[in-house]
Amino acid sequence: MSAVAATPQLELRGVTKRFGGVAAVDGVNFEVAKGDIVGIIGPNGAGKTTLLNCISGIHHLDSGDIRWEGASIAGMAPHRIANLGIGRTFQIVKPFGSMTARENVAIGALFGSAHMRRGMKQAFALADEVLELVGLKAKADQPVSALTIPDRKRLEVARAVATRPQLLLLDEVMAGLNNVEIDEALEMVRSVHATGVTVLLIEHVMRVIVGVCRRAIVLDSGRVLAEGEPEVVLRDERVIEAYLGERYAKRLKSS
C-alpha cells in the first residue's frame, strides 16, 4: 500500500495576475514542501516579484488559487497572511529610520504570527535573538542611518524573521552585494533555514541558487519555463537562451 503524499505547505494553482490586460504572472503552478528551500530565477520583467506580491496578499489574483497548508489564502489581506506564518522581505529596504536596529526588529516581533503574540519585553528579547542569528548583534543599538547597505539588507531579513514565519519569502537580498558580502548573506540564509523555516527566494546570483536551493523555478514572461534541481535547470537550453545568455553557456562548456 503506497503512502499518502503530504499536503504541500504552499501550493500555487493557475495563478494569474494582469495589469492593464497584460499578464505579469500567467497560469503559474508549483508546490513548496515544508522545510524546503526553493529559488525563483528569470529575466527582469518575468513576474518574480509580482508572484511574491500575490503570495503575500499585496496583489489580488485575476484567476487561480494559492493554498497554504491545504486552505485557500487567495484574496486575504497581507496582515492576515502574515498572521498565518508567511513573512517576506522587499527589494527596496525601508527600515524605520528614526529607530535603532533592535527597535526595528522588535516591531516585526510585535506584528507576527497570530499564535505568537507578545509584549514589549518579549519582543525585544526575540529581536536580540534574531539579530544574533543574522549577524547584527554588535550593531543592535546603532541607528539605522549608521548601517551599511549590506547591514540594512540583514536588518530587512531580521525584521521578517522576527515575525516568526513558517515560510519566508526573500526578494533579492543579495542584490548589490560584493562577493564577500554575498558569502556572508548565504550563511545568513542557511542559518535562518536551519531553524526550520521554509524559504522561497528570488535571486539573480547563480551561485546562491546552486549554493542553497534544493530546487529552482524559472519564470519567463510570467510563465514557468523550467523547474527542477538547480544544476539541471541551469543547463537547460531554454533557460540559457531566455535568461542566462551565451557567456554563461560558454562557461558551462569550459567547466
190/157 Cα distance (integer angstroms): 12
- What residues in the chain have per-residue pLDDT under 70? 1-5, 112-118, 246, 248-250, 252-255
| pLDDT at site 166 | 95
Please report, to the nearest 10 degrees, the dihedral formed by the alpha carbons of residues 40, 42, 47, 52 taken in order.
20
Contact 177, 97 (CB under 8 A): no
* Positions of CATH 3.40.50.300 in the chain: 7-85+167-255
Phi and psi of 216, rounded to 5°?
A: -125, 140
Q: Rounded to an integer, what distance in angstroms lies between the CA atom of residue 143 and that of residue 145?
A: 5
Q: 175-227: per-residue pLDDT in tens?
A: 888 999 999 999 999 999 999 999 999 998 888 999 999 999 999 999 999 99
Residue with cell 543579495: 174
CATH, range 7-85+167-255: 3.40.50.300
* Cα gap 27→225, rounded to integer Å: 12
pTM of the model: 0.91
